[in-house]
Amino acid sequence: MEKLARKQVQQLTPYLSARRIGGTGDIWLNANESPYSNEYSPALNELNRYPECQPEELITAYASYAGVSADQVIATRGADEGIELLIRAYCEPGEDAILYCPPTYGMYAISAETIGVERKTVPLTDDWQLDLAAIRQSLDSVKVIFVCSPNNPTGNLVDQQDIKTLLEMTQNKAIVVIDEAYIDFSPESSVSELIRSYPNLAILRTLSKAFALAGLRCGFTLANQEIIGVLMKVIAPYPIPKPVAEIASEALSEAGRARTKRQVLDLNANKAYLQAGLSILDGVTVFDGWGNFLLVKFPAGDAVFKAAWNEGIILRNSPVEDCIRISVGSREECERTLSFLRSYLES
């Protein structure tokens, strides 16, 4: 039956997520998941009825958290669905293109490929910022531009003035999508307030990282009302299951937000601990990171990755040479990882 599939689809290789790569271990620091497993007990009644397409309580709660108005929010099945909706809504397959700046998150390319939309890449500069001159030269037929900040896997923030320049350069031509999946770890660096000034700005958010709800599959796109209206045309009729809306609303309640804030503080402290411990090791460079992960350069990254893997410490190798991405786990996970790496490198 494979031959019956669209040609594009026959040629696809599925996204190699951390989950699909597998491995056996007791320390999982490869998917930027939260180490906190918070408990919820959603009401499970009235499941005979379809849910609201955009559960009002959830939308209001996220708008309040993000400091935007309710008509500037659409809830999706994870931020990943937001990526797909933006491409499907704005790019004509076979005609239009998306543009992104590697090294960065893999799903922009995968979604475009699945939909049959051309991908253009303009690599980040040596200090992982936007190469605005090269982007300007590559804008032909580009309808959606993805910029990830804090960037996965490098961890750095993208300069806000550059984001404004990009928004101006593309006004009336392309949507600029700022992927803020990790912004809850550095909330002061969000560009959400630019939504008021730039009609071509969209921002991706998720409950998967700081809110410790990767298993829930709940994300949001923030943008002006007009973009939200366009996305509403292509979203599925019932994307958010009732129990998902209930749990997400609880996570976004005052108490839920306070708990997330405490957990973010703890994880940022663990990140500082890991960074301090790793950076004093010979030949190791730790790049400053604004999310819940660090990109770390070793003398021989692949060997370190495999040695950790064999020890049951599952990290993520990265496209950046000799670099490994390490998610910030519990203090104990950070201690065990650090102590393994220290003894491995000193042996």
Interface with ligand PLP includes 79 (CB under 6 A)? yes
User: In sequence order, what are the residues at sequence separation of 6 or more whose Cβ sits closer than 8 angstroms to the Cβ of residue 11?
Assistant: none
Interface with ligand PLP includes 84 (CB under 6 A)? no
Interface with ligand PLP includes 55 (CB under 6 A)? no
Interface with ligand PLP includes 78 (CB under 6 A)? yes
User: In sequence order, what are the residues at sequence separation of 6 or more whose Cβ sits closer than 8 angstroms to the Cβ of residue 8?
Assistant: 113, 114, 116
Task: State the nearest-atom distance from the C-beta of 239 to ligand PLP, in Å.
Answer: 12
Q: Which of 35, 51, 155, 219 binds ligand PLP (CB under 6 A)?
A: 219
Residue 214 or residue 345: which is nearer to ligand PLP going by CB?
A: 214
With CA atoms as reference, report the closest residue to 231 among 105, 75, 108, 62: 75
Task: State the nearest-atom distance from the C-beta of 287 to ligand PLP, in Å.
Answer: 16
Interface with ligand PLP includes 206 (CB under 6 A)? yes
Where does this chain touch ligand PLP (CB under 6 A) — which range of 161-169, 206-214, 314-322, 329-337?
206-214
And the tokens for 211?
Answer: 């809110």
Q: Report yes or no: 288 and 265 within 8 Å, Cβ to Cβ.
A: no
Where does this chain touch ligand PLP (CB under 6 A) — which range of 77-85, 158-166, 272-280, 323-331?
77-85
CA dist list (Å): 223 to 105, 194, 227, 264: 21, 9, 6, 25
With CA atoms as reference, report the closest residue to 206 among 124, 150, 137, 131: 150
Q: Which of 34, 54, 72, 152 binds ligand PLP (CB under 6 A)?
A: 152
User: In sequence order, what are the residues at sequence separation of 6 or more whose Cβ sits closer than 8 angstroms to the Cβ of residue 157?
Assistant: 149, 150, 151, 186, 189, 290
Summarize as ranges the residues that interact with ligand PLP (CB under 6 A).
Answer: 32, 78-80, 105, 148, 152, 179, 181, 206, 208, 214, 219
